[in-house]
Copies of this chain bind each other. A is one copy, B any other.
Amino acid sequence: MNIVVLAGGVGGSRFLLGVREWVRRSTAAGGGDHAITAIVNTGDDMWHVGLRITPDLDTIMYALAGINDTERGWGRVGETERVSAELQAWGVGWPWFTLGDLDLGAHITRSSWLREGLPLHEVVERLTARWPLGVRMLPATDQEVETHVRVEGEGSSSQELHFQEWWTRYRASLPALEFVQRGLADSRPAPGVEAALAEADVILLAPSNPVVSIGTIIAIPGMRDALLAASAPIVGVSPIIGGAVVRGMADACLTAIGVETSAAAVGRLYGARGGGGLLDGWLVATEDADAVAELAADGLTATSAPLWMRDPDSSAALAGAAIDLALAPRD
């Protein structure tokens, strides 16, 4: 079975670990071979002190390689900030945006390959070949799409920050008026993305940020058409449990686009395929089981299941619930 997952960083990596564990167990139980392809958000990427930083791709790569720093929630385990401290001594970069030394190895390598003319998907292929990840990683697009956030400025003016500044420096505390995705109009799905979708048996939307992660992937020109043209059912997993975000600051992003922070509202944001949306199924948390009937009235098939990913067992069970929902017979 070909399983394709649209994913952002932290939520995406945890979900992919669950899908990989589900695949391992399924194959061990005689369920045949499965292939996992992750289509990863690149909207948080940026050039920073001359280096191309790809936060979501790295978070997923490190998590699948088992070398991510689970304490900090970013970067690699056992890193130092010796190089970052040097950059700060010279006043380059952002003092609130440190880069670990091992992580810098990836940034220098990636930037060097990009400057040699390699497209991002080839860079990702080369970087990920270092470890047996069990997941083929594709950037959503090779083009540079960078998310900026328009916030209130002095008086009645507004100003734009890079998403990383809004997210990491201000912890999404400045009310966002708008997300501006520079380069989006000129982007297209990276080579391999459309084929992966066309050959998919199941397409899953990870419980990532629905606005700036999954939302950015879907907004790439041609992506929505490729998703809808695929024969595979599309099932999303709610990033909201019990009316609150599990991790990150998706609520601030949802508020900015006028969407309530609830499992039902995010389901409606993606929308049912029959009503002009994407979803054939929507998986909400047991805590949000009330939303199932509410969404059914809107034509969206939802199911509830435990959504907390605490360990391999619970993550694999969540992945299995999403796959079951995708493969369930439909009217």
Q: Say how far A269's CB is from chain B's closest CB, in angstroms.
A: 38
Number of A residues whose C-beta is below 8 Å from B? 26
Does A92 belong to the interface (CB within 8 Å)? yes
Of all chain B residues, which has the CB nearest A129?
Answer: B90
Q: Which of A104-126 contact B (CB under 8 A)?
A: 104-106, 108-109, 111-113, 115, 126
The answer for the CA separation of A109 and B51 in the assembled complex, in Å, is: 10
A83: chain B residues at CB < 8 Å are 83, 101-102, 104-105, 108
Q: Which of A64-120 contact B (CB under 8 A)?
A: 80, 82-83, 85-87, 89-90, 92, 101-102, 104-106, 108-109, 111-113, 115
Of all chain B residues, which has the CB nearest A105?
Answer: B86
Q: Say how far A78's CB is from chain B's closest CB, in angstroms.
A: 9
Does A29 belong to the interface (CB within 8 Å)? no
Q: Mark A219-235, 1 if CB is under 8 A from B, else 0.
A: 00000000000000000
The one of B87, B102, B109, B127 in contact with A109, judged by C-beta atoms closer than 8 angstroms, is: B87
Of all chain B residues, which has the CB nearest A103?
Answer: B86
Q: Say how far A93's CB is from chain B's closest CB, in angstroms.
A: 8
Instruction: Flag if A92 contacts B112 (CB, 8 Å).
Output: yes
Does A50 belong to the interface (CB within 8 Å)? yes
Interface of A is mostly: helix
Q: Say how far A247's CB is from chain B's closest CB, in angstroms.
A: 27
A50: chain B residues at CB < 8 Å are 50, 108, 111-112, 115
A80: chain B residues at CB < 8 Å are 80, 82, 101
The answer for the CA separation of A109 and B92 in the assembled complex, in Å, is: 7
Q: Which of A271-313 contact B (CB under 8 A)?
A: none
Of all chain B residues, which has the CB nearest A113?
Answer: B92
Q: Mark A29-54, 1 if CB is under 8 A from B, else 0.
A: 00000000000000000000111000
The one of B82, B92, B106, B127 in contact with A102, judged by C-beta atoms closer than 8 angstroms, is: B82
A106: chain B residues at CB < 8 Å are 86, 90
The one of B90, B104, B111, B115 in contact with A104, judged by C-beta atoms closer than 8 angstroms, is: B104
Instruction: Flag if B127 contacts A105 (CB, 8 Å).
Output: no
Does A130 belong to the interface (CB within 8 Å)? yes
The answer for the CA separation of A154 and B247 in the assembled complex, in Å, is: 61
A115: chain B residues at CB < 8 Å are 50
Of all chain B residues, which has the CB nearest A84?
Answer: B105
Of all chain B residues, which has the CB nearest A108?
Answer: B49
Q: Say how far A11's CB is from chain B's closest CB, in angstroms.
A: 26
Beyond A83-B101, A90-B105, A90-B130, 13 additional contacts (C-beta under 8 Å) are A50-B108, A50-B115, A80-B80, A83-B108, A86-B102, A87-B105, A87-B109, A90-B109, A90-B126, A92-B108, A92-B113, A101-B101, A108-B108
Can you list 24 A-B pairs, Cβ within 8 angstroms, ordered by A?
Answer: A49-B108, A49-B109, A49-B112, A50-B108, A50-B111, A50-B115, A80-B101, A82-B101, A82-B102, A82-B105, A83-B102, A83-B108, A86-B102, A86-B104, A86-B106, A86-B109, A87-B108, A87-B109, A90-B109, A92-B109, A92-B112, A104-B104, A104-B108, A108-B108
